[in-house]
A and B are shown apart, each in its own frame.
Chain A
């Protein structure tokens, strides 16, 4: 099995950040970079496939400037075999997808894994664009994956909302974008990190790729910048049908509904019995 994982080094924007002198971008001195958390999940799934199927190979790819190599190496430290960086600046999703797809096109692959979205831009587009450009099947937002190499098929599950899921059977080669809950990404071991530090990164210039658009032009235009609205403080107004004491209680607790829960403690056999009783009582069984 050959698995390709597309990763992005994101800028963590969920902390107070400073705006640079031009007023149009984040101050680069204050940027905190990290590997996109969804991409970590994708890497972990790729490693699971590699560990399950002997002789598999995992290739990590990213498109970006030299600073993105730090994230690339971190992803590689999960246990990948090759890492490739296409040198280009930070670009819009479509151009990025063209670049990634052209690089992947020449590689033989069975599965491509991408994060569902990057948590700095939150566009949710690159995975789908790449699949379209490569003209392969895609399933987005997977939360479970089962690979059946004999039949060259994959069965994945995805959320439909309100606890429902659908299962999709997909032929390979295919691209999947992953949800956070697909797995729990590993913490790379030190030997793997050191290996990643020393391993050669294959570098490609974006301009050498066979792409019909200008790979040095970001299709996005900066429109305006405004400070975020202050978070509104919710004032809870309780239902007037309730009694005064109940309304007072709701206001004081901020209207938080407490989940009805029972915490059982004790021997496993007892707990199991009690849980079964509840399941029967609530007609889940």
Chain B
């Protein structure tokens, strides 16, 4: 225990630390309040359960370990180890006020166990820090950027471990009663100090290093709020307030005709949760490492976007709070615009909305929604978007499809097939939603539709189509940021469904499927939607579809982003391939939740500017690497992209693009 002067000084130090910490925390919270309100307090029980799993059970990092990224094990060890140390700091502080860690408080057994655990934890933390340092400065994997901040944090944590042992060593020398007989590392240190002949002044050494250690602890606790280590506080909240709805669902703009904000152009137009995202980012780089745009050499790097926005928020924070305090009349007028400045337009349009970034992010930062918010502002308020998109928007408005083919052409794929039209017959059990690509794009995509219809006929499923009354589901419009156009299309489609009493819909296009299942309910839709693979799997399993001969060739399967990652439908297509393929399907390295995008999403199907490599070519290379002779997929867009990639490479004769439904049709 310290003398009275020391105790007062310690108290002052604690007060000073708390005040610095408090002021900064207050500033950070005030910045969050600059954001728009958003209700994230639904399902409180589920949320609590979720963070217990993510944080306490460290699922946040373990989820990536199961995908082959082992760095998460280091974090797990660090987290548990450092948590123990946080508790130990309470002891360290109390040492200054009370008897040195008296066994009377909790009993000698507790002390022995606790300090043994602490010693072991210290060794583990040191090992992990060394591993981290080796990775960052020697191995240098791409996704890790060894910034000064990262270096400081490593050194500080290392110093804390070392200082803890030093203090422990001297404590053991000075302490006359036995209180932690099992802490072997501490004992080793104390032995070492005795050998150095330091027993004479051990009290002096003890208190010197004790103060030094505490200074590091207090200093670090303040530094946490000024560095990316803020994640140790912010990430819990970020995970707690994660979106609980279906994955990747975009929120509508309510009352769009009266809405003041169309998307986001200034940082305060984000919601507080989107600002919290910026706090929770630890700059691990997994987002960038898994982003198809980044991998193929585009300007877009998700981590950089978060980093730049956070830097901007902090550097202009004071000014923004001042303006809010003065109740600047135009809301956010007078602030500098973020879109096009802090985040460039080229970065924004390169995003394919594939969702890989969020899938691998340990703190579940909502990247995609942010991109779409920027896009909404650019498209609807400023009309600033890639020139190729204007035609697509106009086609959607005038003709109801992005290709401008017109409603009457939607039935051309039928040719001789006799299929009931919902506007002609009444008792249609199930609607087959064809979609724009399946009906209009080219012969390849129309063949998918024909194959699907033929398979359903073979299985005796009674279905009808909307034919020329179909309008685009609206997914391209929404993902490109044209929320107004999307709502117009959605509302009209829902009206059409209601008019014909459609209750059950099946579709083969993952984009249509995703929008119907997860987003149309925002506008009052109440029909049930399944993806064709869910239906076909059932039909194969209960024998309504019989395989007559299996398909030849060694093939691999590509999980479409909107089917697999967004909606979790990985297994059904694989089950179907079990039935259909003669040889076992070969998995690609990036499959299921970590599937690699084909590059068509988010409007990129029509985006002309291609820097770096084409995303579809990167994916085809991955497919060819499996040594197969063909790729199977269940999305018309993916197939068109792969078709073009194969032609670019001149491989039309050696590598085949197969559609799952066509395979089913050929084999049944």
Contacts and interface: CB of A to CB of B under 8 A. Distances in A.
Nearest to A192: B383
Nearest to A184: B387
A187 B397 CA distance: 12
B interface bracket (residues with beta carbon within 8 Å of A): 20 to 34
B408 A189 contact: no
Interface stretch (A9-17, A88-96, A212-220): A9-17
B16 to A, nearest CB: 52
A169 B409 CA distance: 47
B498 interface: no
Interface string B382-412: 1101010010011000110000011111000
Contact of B380 (A16, A17, A186, A189): A189
A194 interface: yes
Contacts of B390: 187
A161 interface: no
Contacts, number: 41
Interface in B250-290: 256-257, 262
A15 B401 CA distance: 13
B237 interface: no
B398 A32 contact: yes
Interface of B: 256-257, 262, 380-383, 385, 387, 390, 393-394, 398-399, 405-409, 484
A200 interface: no
Contacts of A187: 383, 385, 390, 393-394
Interface string A1-36: 000000000001001111000000000001011100
Nearest to B399: A32
A206 to B, nearest CB: 27
Interface of A: 12, 15-18, 30, 32-34, 184, 186-191, 193-194
Contacts of B381: 189-191
A69 to B, nearest CB: 16
A34 B257 CA distance: 22
9 shortest interchain CB distances as A-B pairs = A190-B380, A15-B406, A34-B398, A187-B383, A189-B383, A187-B390, A16-B408, A190-B484, A189-B381
B484 A15 contact: no
A249 to B, nearest CB: 18
A18 B399 CA distance: 15
Contacts of B484: 190, 193
B382 A189 contact: yes
A190 B262 contact: yes
A16 B468 CA distance: 12
B383 A188 contact: yes
A257 to B, nearest CB: 22
Contacts of A17: 408
A184 B408 CA distance: 29
Given A18-B408, A32-B406, A12 B380 contact: no
A32 B405 CA distance: 11
A47 B22 CA distance: 54
28 contacts: A12-B398, A12-B399, A12-B406, A15-B399, A15-B405, A15-B406, A15-B408, A15-B409, A16-B406, A16-B408, A17-B408, A30-B408, A32-B398, A32-B406, A33-B398, A34-B398, A186-B383, A187-B385, A187-B390, A187-B394, A188-B383, A189-B380, A189-B382, A189-B383, A190-B256, A190-B262, A190-B381, A194-B257
